[in-house]
Structure 1
């Protein structure tokens, strides 16, 4: 199969095929007559696997590791479960943080509707932000910790 054919069969773009080829997940052979890359059914299977793994949130290094274990005839399933459990915990924490942020944003927007627009006077930048206080500085402290 040529790039366009394998891309269509795997429901990805040709650029995705080229990317995974550059990353070493696919091993096409060069046709000596026209120098085109020719992909096998094994490449198609790996490409479909990589697409599904990405949809589940696995990173490229994780996918590479899974494929390497499978290539060595070792089951990657225990590692997949472990990575996935950790990732799910992380996603649930991020969803919780985003819900808190959403509530904070709604509260601020509601309070700001009744406030007049201010003009920077050398002492203020934006009075909406500077005068708003929900009493929760955890987002600021969390964000500050992440950047240090």
Structure 2
């Protein structure tokens, strides 16, 4: 498959494919005698894996490590399990932080229910913040 065909089949761009190749996420493709990239059909499944991994919040470095493990012939399941544990912990921390932020914003909004522009001190910009 040529790069344009892969891009169309995966819903991405040729620029992204070249970037992933430079980043080590995609193996260097064979080249035609004219220098065009010639990808094997399994590149579509690999791109799908990259997209799913990004949707789970994994960084490109983490995805590259998973692919390196698979490419070496080993199953990356244990490594992925550890990454998923870390991701869940990070999401739980973010949710806690967001809940606290929501509480702060709700409190500020409650204070700002009654707008009294005549009593505002210009030096404070806005007393509700």
Q: Provide the residue aligned with 2:78 in structure 1.
A: 78
For this pair of structures, how many residues does the alignment match? 126
Give how far 1:15 is off: 3.0
**Taking structure 2 as the reference length, what is the TM-score of the superposition?**
0.84
Match of 2:63 in 1: 63
Unpaired runs of at least 5, structure 1: 130-148
Asked if the contact 1:115–1:128 (Cα under 8 Å) also holds between the matched residues in 2, the reply is no
Which whole-Å deviations, capped at 9, do the CAs of 1:86-137 have from their partners, x for residues lacking one? Answer: 111110220121122112212211211214232424xx343222xxxxxxxx
The alignment status of 1:11 with 2:37, answered yes or no, reads no
TM-score by length of structure 1 reads 0.75
Question: What does residue 145 of structure 1 align with?
Answer: none
Structure 1 match to 2:105: 105
Matches within 5 A, 1:27-42: 27-33=28-34, 35-42=35-42
Match of 1:87 in 2: 87
CA distance in 1, matches of 2:102, 2:90: 18
RMSD across aligned positions (CA): 1.8
